[in-house]
Amino acid sequence: MRPESEEDLSHVIRSAREPLTPIGGGTRLRPGEGQGERLNVSGLTGITLYEPAALTLVVRAGTRLSEVREALAAEGQMLAFEPDLRPNSTMGGIVAANASGPRRVQAGACRDALLGLRYVDGQGEVIQNGGRVMKNVTGYDLVKLMAGSRGQLGVLTELSFKTAPIPPCAATLALPGLDAASAVAALTLALTGPYDVSGAAWLPGQGALIRVEGLEGSVAIRGQALSERLARFGEVAMAEADPWSRMVPTAAEGDLWRIICRPSEAPGLLAALPQPLALDWGGSLIWVAMPPGEAPSLPAWSGHASRVTGAAPLTLPAPNPVVQRLNASLRERFDPRGIFASGSSCRPILQKSS
């Protein structure tokens, strides 16, 4: 099914008798998702409004990220949250996954750039929330609730974003001598000083990576100051190629896991894990491959870990029962007939971290 308009979509949902899985480009599905009949949203396309002087973009949810990037670049702008580019990736899919890249440490996540949206709920009702202005506290913020809801509450049809100017200049410092655990201290130093860092990551073979962006003179000043402060961690070099578009790794073997933690907790977690595939967000995000079906055995920490590829969904530690009840009740209110099959990340998960 590939509706061409919001009305078509609403009709499809109203008349559905079996579970549906809303799909954009289908590039960000997780284990357990995509089991209903595919409801392809990629027919709802097009930029409906773009005002560069107001930093505002409104697009239909099926519009491809590549098209949006091109339109913005033509005006010297970008999506500051830097979603990773995957072939066929749509804006609806990006919002449904709250997909956010390295610049999150400076500019926030997808949900922070999302100003408003329209969606069709499980009863086929068309609902709008938020708007197209940067400050808006009128009514409940369903925009945040829908961002990252993975198609469980409704099908996104139109999205408005805050855009940002592309910085005229960027520089990436590399500390190639650091392993993942020791990189965290260097990233923390960069993020806790007045350097306005827009990327703080670690990649195997490349070491710690720190990006500053802005006007040319400013980038030179901050780059220099950072190099001096970071010298105590070893060699500091300018990174040659731009590493920032490759921060979401794939697991060549095994299941890909995504772990969220406080940076100060990262070294302890890394000690209990195989060599990671990447660190991002100053060490708050760890990407690691685990043998198929195996869960990492981690010391208690304040974040969570989820399996991103593999056979079965799993999130550690098990969510709090009250939070689970709130999640389940919200799904029931937005989709009382249980039409949206997508996702099991909110379903009670009984396995516990050992």
Partner 1 sequence: MLMPDPDPRILARREAIAARLRAVVPSAVIDDPAETRAYECDALSAYRCPPLAVVLPATTEEVAAVLRVCHEEGVPVVPRGAGTSLAGGSMPTADAVVVGLARMNGVIETNLDDRFIRVQAGRTNLSVSGVVDGAGFFYAPDPSSQLACAIGGNIGMNSGGAHCLKYGVTTNNLLGVTLVLMDGSVVELGGPMGEAPGLDLLGVVCGSEGQLGIVTEATLRILPKPAGARPVLVAFDASETAGACVAAIIRAGVLPVAIEFMDRPCIRATEEFAHAGYPDCEALLIIEVEGTPPEIDEQLRLIRAIAERFDPIEFRESRSEDESRRIWLGRKSAFGAMGQINDYMCLDGTIPVSTLPQVLAGIARLSGEYGLDVANVFHAGDGNMHPLILYNANTPGDLERCEALGAEILKLCVEVGGCLTGEHGVGVEKRELMTTQFSQTDLEAQMRVKDVFDPGWLLNAAKVFPLAVSAPRREGIRNAA
The CB-of-91 to partner 1 minimum distance in angstroms stands at 18
Phi, psi angles (nearest 5°) of residue 261: -155, 170
- Taking the C-alpha atoms of residue 93 and residue 102, their distance in angstroms, rounded to an integer, is 18
Smaller CB separation from partner 1, 64 or 343: 343
- The residue type found at 346 is C
The CB-of-119 to partner 1 minimum distance in angstroms stands at 9
Smaller CB separation from partner 1, 1 or 169: 169
HSE-CB for 269 with a 13 A CA cutoff? 28
Smaller CB separation from partner 1, 64 or 110: 110
Smaller CB separation from partner 1, 88 or 192: 192
- Taking the C-alpha atoms of residue 280 and residue 261, their distance in angstroms, rounded to an integer, is 11
The CB-of-82 to partner 1 minimum distance in angstroms stands at 15
Smaller CB separation from partner 1, 54 or 238: 54
Smaller CB separation from partner 1, 42 or 149: 149
The CB-of-329 to partner 1 minimum distance in angstroms stands at 4
- Taking the C-alpha atoms of residue 42 and residue 94, their distance in angstroms, rounded to an integer, is 13
Place of tokens 């990629």: 42
The CB-of-154 to partner 1 minimum distance in angstroms stands at 9
- Taking the C-alpha atoms of residue 75 and residue 154, their distance in angstroms, rounded to an integer, is 32
Q: What share of the chain is helix, strand, coil (3-state, %, to 5)?
A: 30, 25, 45
- The residue type found at 212 is V
- Taking the C-alpha atoms of residue 150 and residue 36, their distance in angstroms, rounded to an integer, is 13
Buried b (16+ CB within 10 A) or exposed e, 246-260: ebbbebeebbbbbbe
The CB-of-223 to partner 1 minimum distance in angstroms stands at 12
